[in-house]
Amino acid sequence: MSFGDPNNPYGPPQQPQPGQPPQQPGYPSYPSPQQPGYGYPTAPQGQPGYGYPQAPPVPQGYGYPMQMPMQMPGIVQTARVLLFILAGFQFLAAVIFGILIAAAGSSDGDTGLVAGVVAGIAVLMLALGSLSVFLGVKMRNGRGGIRIGTMVYASLMILGSLVNIGRGLSETAASGALGGIISLAFGITILVAMIRGGAWFNRPRH
């Protein structure tokens, strides 16, 4: 027994299926959107869509936290700058003593001993200036050896400054006392920087 075309809008009304609302006669029926629970699973909220995998997390250095490089402490930077300034004064003194040697050699008289002493002082100033530059350059990447060497150098500088100050005061030579005071200030600052900046020289290297 045939009931006609089910899609015919002019045919007899069809019996509604279970779970569907009754249809009005004379109007075509359209499939209703599927609701959850009728055989069509819905995507869970907050989950990635089907067929599109989530991007993997960015690796963080193979399990090790990233560390920023340690910055040179300000007091160590000050000591480094003072070493370069001290080297400039020492090189300048070497040039002055060299000029004195040339002047003594062009004058008449027996000046061999004096020229030898002045030449020795010039060579000493040149060597100290080179040592100051070396310590200042190596202070950026140097280890404990550079720190100890700088401490010894600063201690000798302080000792020499005290001798110059005492000699200048006893001979009423203001220039010698003033130079000794400046050198003493440099030496104390550098020594204190090396004592307080031990963490910089003992920092881990990667």
User: Would 45 be classed as within a structural domain?
Assistant: no
Identify the H or E element spanning 43: none
169-194 pLDDT per residue, tens: 776 666 667 878 889 999 999 999 99
Half-sphere exposure of 149 (CA within 13 A, CB side): 16
For residue 38, give the amino acid letter: Y
Kindly indicate the confidence band of residue 124, based on its pLDDT and cuts at 50, 70 and 90: very high
User: Would 189 be classed as within a structural domain?
Assistant: yes
Q: What is the DSSP letter of 203?
A: -
Burial of 69 (0-12, 13-18, 19+ CB in 10 A): exposed
Q: Average pLDDT over the chain, rounded to whole?
A: 75
The 3-state secondary structure of 9-21 reads CCCCCCCCCCCCC
Burial of 2 (0-12, 13-18, 19+ CB in 10 A): exposed
Structural domain including 180 reads: 74-201
Residue 20: which region, alpha, beta or left (left: phi > 0; alpha: psi -120 to 50)?
beta
User: Would 175 be classed as within a structural domain?
Assistant: yes
**Confidence (pLDDT) at 177:** 74
User: Would 148 be classed as within a structural domain?
Assistant: yes
User: Would 69 be classed as within a structural domain?
Assistant: no
22-61 pLDDT per residue, tens: 555 555 555 555 555 555 555 555 555 555 556 555 555 5
- Average pLDDT estimate for 152-163: 93
User: Would 37 be classed as within a structural domain?
Assistant: no
User: Would 156 be classed as within a structural domain?
Assistant: yes
**3 state SS of 41:** coil
- Our count of domains for the chain comes to 1
What are phi and psi for residue 81, nearest 5 degrees? Answer: -65, -40
Q: Give this prediction's pTM.
A: 0.63
User: Would 67 be classed as within a structural domain?
Assistant: no
Most confident of 10-19, 27-36, 91-100, 160-169: 91-100
